[in-house]
Amino acid sequence: MTRMTDKVALITGARQGIGRSCAIRLAEQGADIVAVDQPGPESDDALGSLANSVRELGRAAVVAAADIRDLDAVTGAVRAGVDELGPLDVVVANAGIFDAPGPSWEIEEQVWLRSIDVNVTGTWNTVKAAVAQLNPRGGSVIIMSSTATVKSHAGSSHYSAAKNAITGLAMTLANELGERSIRVNSVHPGSVATPMILNPTTFARLRPDVDDPSAADVAPVLAGRTLLPVPWVDPIDVSNAVLFLASDESRYVTGLQLVVDAGLAQKVA
């Protein structure tokens, strides 16, 4: 519990999945947590549970509901966390969505715009609000991208376009913020065992030949896409990568695109 001692980490999309795993993992290593997720009763309950888990680890937690598409809301959430916990040392811009899939020319305009608004503008808003609150000594910004930047699949042009955009944002930020000792890297998960993958809609899309398919039914399909004999990675595998990039162990690592995907991006079809 020493790799993040007394550091303050902001995490968006923190109520479940990768975001929650990152919050717990960083807290386990000594960080105080500012956890942000979208407004709503479900988020309130999940953020409250997360805060309790962080405090049980002996660390402080501030939670806030904010739609990352709203710059003022994100700025207010960040400031509330900093006012209580002090300057940020780490920013994990994790919040994102995979919206209704389909051929590029059939995707509804509102679906396309929502994907860009949440994944791209939301990430930009998060970084814009957080950079002003980073520790003067420097810090680490980690942007959650995807292997969709290097190996996409039909039906996901909105998601692929958004994730490529924020990867470019991360690369530019690394150049802009380096002189302030702020490192900027992106993490690129493949399939992860979270609700984004483990849901009935995705199961049905992957196994149209099966009535009411389950995770067990789709596991062989996804395992066929990776080099290692697993269908997906777990959230902890991604949060371990985030921990490395957040900690001083990566003090001279910036501009990196760190892939955590069991070899999905390298698998030759």
Domains and CATH numbers, the chain: 8-192+234-260 (3.40.50.720), 198-231 (no CATH)
Cβ neighbours for 43, distance < 8 A, ≥ 6 positions apart: 15, 37, 65
Q: In this model, does residue 1 exceed pLDDT 80?
A: no
Mean pLDDT of the residues in the chain = 96
What CA–CA distance (Å, rounded) separates 169 from 157? 18
Cβ neighbours for 100, distance < 8 A, ≥ 6 positions apart: 107, 108, 111
Q: In this model, does residue 102 exceed pLDDT 80?
A: yes
CB neighbours of residue 155 within 10 Å: 16
Q: What amino acid is encoded at 71 in this protein? A: L
CB neighbours of residue 90 within 10 Å: 28
**What is residue 144's predicted lDDT score, i.e. its pLDDT?**
98
The per-residue pLDDT for range 143-199, each reduced to its tens digit, is 999 999 988 788 899 999 999 999 999 999 999 999 999 999 999 999 999 998 999
Contact 98, 18 (CB under 8 A): no
Q: In this structure, what token pair is assigned to residue 205?
A: 């899309």
The residues assigned a catalytic role are 159
Which residues partner with 64 through β-bridges?
36
- Percent share of the chain, pLDDT over 90: 91
What CA–CA distance (Å, rounded) separates 191 from 245? 20
What CA–CA distance (Å, rounded) separates 114 from 265? 26
**What is residue 269's predicted lDDT score, i.e. its pLDDT?**
67
DSSP 3: T
- Percent share of the chain, pLDDT over 70: 99
Inter-residue long-range contacts of 73-76, CB under 8 Å, 24+ positions, other chains counted = 74/12, 74/36, 74/122, 74/125, 74/126, 74/129, 75/128, 75/129
DSSP 233: B
What CA–CA distance (Å, rounded) separates 261 from 146? 9
- Provide the phi-psi class of 267: left if phi over 0, else alpha when psi is between -120 and 50, else beta: beta
The per-residue pLDDT for range 168-183, each reduced to its tens digit, is 999 999 999 999 999 9
Predicted TM-score of the model (pTM): 0.95
Cα 109 versus chain centre, distance? 24
Q: In this model, does residue 29 exceed pLDDT 90?
A: yes
Q: In this model, does residue 51 exceed pLDDT 80?
A: yes
**What is residue 154's predicted lDDT score, i.e. its pLDDT?**
86
Contact 149, 156 (CB under 8 A): no
Cβ neighbours for 150, distance < 8 A, ≥ 6 positions apart: 188, 259, 265
